[in-house]
Amino acid sequence: MNNKNIYFDHAATTPLCEEALNKMIPYFTEVFGNPNSQHAFGRESVKAVDEARDTIAKIINAKPSEIYFTSGGTEGDNWALRGVAHAFKDKGKHLIISPIEHAAMLVTAKALKKEGFEVSYMKVDEYGVVDLEHLESIIRPDTIFIGCMMANNEVGTIEPIKEIAAIAKKHGVICFTDAVQAAGVLKIDVKDLGVDLMSMSAHKIYGPKGVGALYIRNGVKVESILTGGHQERMKRGGTTNVAGIVGFAEAFKIADRDIDKNFEYVSMLRDRFIDRVLEEVPFVKLNGPRTGRLPANADFSFKFIEGESILFSLDLAGIAVSSGSACSSGSLEPSHVLLALGLPEELAHGSIRFSFGKHNTIEEVDYAVDTIKDAVKRLREMSPLFKAEGDIKYV
């Protein structure tokens, strides 16, 4: 076991920050009441959840009544897509999403197809940016939902959500954005953006796992998917995750307070990494745009090598990264995101995502580049593909 332990997989999850942990602890022990209970224990918990709701609403310029706590991004995405589809099915059955959405959207859309909904996909360019003209051209009188992520979890592309929301509004269609990778990293003002719904998750921003929120603009009709008790103003059943919610709000507050500082620092690490890899490792392709991407994200395809073999070499050297998105890791399928960007299958197979965080250092970045150089050289020496094609310059 290598003793380096360098973590470059912040897009998969982040460590819980100390501030959030300290804020959460009492809610596991002394303040344990169920917020639904009609007694002092319950009221203390209600107070904590209300405060958290106020904090989160304020950060994204929403009203507290527009914040619904969930179990994370997956539930928020499911709720938005399914909830709108079911609420508006009498108006129409046509849904539009981007082809580079998270599985929480793509798989839900597939399930809705089985219920008789039709799904169209917006076109994206070679960097993953949505083609707005194409989007407008595929809207139909029966379109009821337009959904696009604010920033892609694999290649880091930041999407023109304000423009997408304006197109949706012009055509009277509900607009949703998955801000799981963006909330706490990019400044978000839901009113300025004009979206109707937005999902968020705590564990991407140094908060706890298993908690998030869905912003639902007041007045927007969305059917519940978790039916049960009266929680979340009758819209989402299930005993409230008080400690998780408290930790989420605290982590979001810290992330928002430090947003500019973190953006600048993490972008500096990423740029140093990208510059060095492009300069020093032959036959690599940076996936996603050079600018207009999340500060933490660098995604590369290494020609002639399987992504998994680089991942294992880096793991042996004590560096944690992921191949493709966290969720498709472990599968041998090429990345759906890279295929949508037009990459050939062999490059869509060979991608590695590096995602940096506020605790990483320049020394770690430099060590990673040196390790990659060695690993790539060694793996290519063993690759019959490289021997056959190695003299062809790849651009």
β-pairing verdict for 6-7 and 319-320:
parallel
Q: Is 112 or 202 the residue whose CB approaches ligand PLP more closely?
A: 202
Among 9, 66, 178, 299, binds ligand PLP (CB under 6 A): 178
Site string for ligand PLP, 197-226 (x = CB under 6 A): ----x----------x--------------
Half-sphere exposure for 227 (CA within 13 Å, toward CB): 5
Two structure tokens written together for 333: 């399928």
CB of residue 343 vs ligand PLP: minimum separation in angstroms?
19
Cβ pair 13, 243 in contact under 8 A: no
Q: Is 73 in the site for ligand PLP (CB under 6 A)?
A: yes
Q: How many CA atoms lie within 13 A of 105 on its CB side?
A: 31
The residue nearest ligand PLP at its CB is 73
Closest separation in Å from C-beta 297 to ligand PLP: 11
Of 73, 101, 97, which is closest to residue 85 (Cα–Cα)? Answer: 97
Residues belonging to the chain = 395
Q: How far apart are CA 255 and CA 261, in angstroms?
A: 10
CA distance 26 to 369: 42
Contact 240, 34 (CB under 8 A): yes
Q: Is 9 a residue that touches ligand PLP (CB under 6 A)?
A: no
Exactly one of 17, 148, 175, 327 is catalytic; name it.
327
Q: Is 17 a catalytic residue?
A: no
Regarding 184 and contact with ligand PLP (CB under 6 A), the answer is no
Of positions 6, 97, 175, 180, contacts ligand PLP by CB under 6 A = 180
288: contact with ligand PLP by CB under 6 A: no
Give whole-number Cα distances, 269 to 111, 315, 360, 363, 368, in Å: 40, 20, 8, 10, 12
Q: Does 77 bind ligand PLP (CB under 6 A)?
A: yes
Q: Say if CB 156 and CB 107 are below 8 A apart.
A: no
Say how far apart CA 87 and CA 310 lie, in whole Å. Answer: 46
User: Residue 198 or residue 376: which is nearer to ligand PLP going by CB?
Assistant: 198
d(CA 126, CA 347): 13
Contact region for ligand PLP (CB under 6 A) — 70-78, 225-233, 279-287, 369-377? 70-78
Binding mask 98-117 for ligand PLP (x = CB under 6 A): ----x-x-------------
- Residue 181 sits in the site that holds ligand PLP (CB under 6 A): yes
Interface positions, 307-366, toward ligand PLP (CB under 6 A): 326-327
Of 36-44, 73-81, 222-230, 356-364, the segment contacting ligand PLP by CB under 6 A is 73-81
- For residue 172, the minimal CB distance to ligand PLP (Å) is 26
3-state secondary structure of 346: helix
Query: 132 is written with which tokens?
Result: 């707005």
Kindly tell me which of 183 and 220 has the beta carbon lying closer to ligand PLP: 183
- Indicate the residue among 201 and 360 with the shorter CB distance to ligand PLP: 201
Q: Min. distance of Cβ 237 from ligand PLP in angstroms?
A: 18
Smallest CA-to-CA distance from 302 within 387, 382, 364, 386 is with 386
- Other C-beta atoms within 10 Å of 257: how many? 12
Are 210 and 241 in contact, with CB atoms under 8 Å apart? yes
Size of the site for ligand PLP (CB under 6 A): 15
In three-state secondary structure terms, 353 is strand
Shortest Å, Cβ 287 to ligand PLP:
16
Question: Which residues are tagged catalytic?
Answer: 327
Give contact residues for ligand PLP (rule: CB under 6 A).
72-74, 77, 102, 104, 149, 153, 178, 180-181, 201, 212, 326-327
